[in-house]
Amino acid sequence: MNARVNPFADLGAPPPSFAVKPRKEKPVAEEAITRIAEENGFPSRQVPKAKEPKRKRRVYTTGRNQQFNLKASGRTIERFQKMADERKVAQCVLLEQALDALERAGLPE
């Protein structure tokens, strides 16, 4: 009972060999699965294509560091962004130009 088991006693034996299991054959072709899904109205998990292209990101270094948030309709935002793009200025510059024009016009509130 005083004898201990040597854990390194079987290191001289060859290592066990592991074999790769063969892949199972797919029972149904991918085309058939796609066709059956389309016939039965199952939606695809593919990402839908973008309907409208994203606008190019504007990056201007203007020294302005205050944020000014407004809620507006989608049409108003599109008009504002289109005007900034046509003039090739930052949105903050367009806002300043619009405010200057209103002040010059002297329109009543």
pLDDT tens digits for 10-43? 787 777 788 888 888 878 888 888 888 888 988 7
- Prediction pTM value: 0.43
The total domain count for the chain is 1
The DSSP result for the chain, as a single string, is: --PPP-TTTTTTSPPPP--PPPPPPPSS-HHHHHHHHHHTTPPP-SPPPPSSPPPPPP----S----------HHHHHHHHHHHHHHT--HHHHHHHHHHHHHHHT---
Give 93's contacts (C-beta < 8 A, 6+ positions apart).
62, 84
Please indicate, yes or no, if residue 109 is contained in any of the structural domains.
yes
Residue-number span of the structural domain to which 107 is assigned: 73-109
Please indicate, yes or no, if residue 16 is contained in any of the structural domains.
no
pLDDT > 70? residue 6: yes
